Amino acid sequence: MRSRRKKLKYDAANCLFMLRPIGKHVAVPSKTEITHIVSHFRTSYPAEEQCHNYVKAHVMGARRVAEQLIEQLARKGITVNRKLVFATIDLHDAAKHVEGVDHEEAVAEKLSGHYPVLAEMITRDPSLSARNLSLEHRLFMYADWRSSGYIVSLERRRRSLLTRYADVARINSSYRRMLEFERELKALGIDTRVGNPLRETMQMLHVRKRTIPPQLPALKRK
């Protein structure tokens, strides 16, 4: 007899238990430190301006997603360490344009001495189980998935990744984790529909849409 997979029940009580904020005790770099780290990779490893512009647009889109979700969670009485979420978003792709290295590992190595929690959040594989992950960690991963230079659905992001990377199993596993988190948020009454800020992003960056490539080339992992 074919076994049936147990269907998860996404009710408010279960989801509140699963959404565990990390708290405000975690060390987070200041805005000045974040700017310094981003500048370090940009000046040490020069790249075409359009690469930097794409990363900026991606970060701004992810911040937009996270901001709207955090505001809604706050209205539900769920406090999130905003600084930690935004610092992770700001830094996770700082070395995206550096060839021949794992960009996440490169950033994490620079952070690990003073900000180990942040370093772990950046390098944690989103395809792995979400068990024991903080709410901040899951918010970061979800916001990262929803931004692709502009804000997209999880399904559209999955299709985009499948056209550029060969690890189908890992991508699909990550997609399922993000979809599970999205369902948990919806069960709490959180609206995950986020306006597309592409036009505002372009205006803020003072660049034309055509200068941002659809995606950066995939970098080989060591």
Contacts of 136 (CB under 8 A, 6+ apart): 21, 22, 80, 81, 84, 85, 88, 121
The answer to whether residues 69 and 154 touch, using CB atoms and an 8 Å cutoff, is no
How confident is the prediction along the chain (222 residues), in pLDDT tens digits per residue? 444 444 445 555 455 545 666 767 788 999 999 999 998 888 777 777 777 788 889 999 999 999 999 999 999 999 999 999 999 999 999 988 888 888 889 999 999 899 999 999 998 876 666 667 899 999 999 999 999 878 999 999 999 999 988 889 999 999 999 999 999 999 999 999 986 555 545 544 554 444 444 444 444 444
- State the Cα–Cα distance between residues 214 and 18, nearest whole angstrom: 35
- 24-29 long-range contacts, Cβ below 8 Å, gap at least 24? 24/81, 26/81, 26/84, 26/117, 26/118, 27/114, 27/115, 27/117, 27/118, 28/81, 28/83, 28/84, 28/87, 28/115, 28/118, 29/87, 29/91, 29/111, 29/114, 29/115, 29/118
Domains of the chain (ranges; CATH) run 27-208 (1.10.3210)
The answer to whether residues 197 and 60 touch, using CB atoms and an 8 Å cutoff, is yes
Entry pTM: 0.78
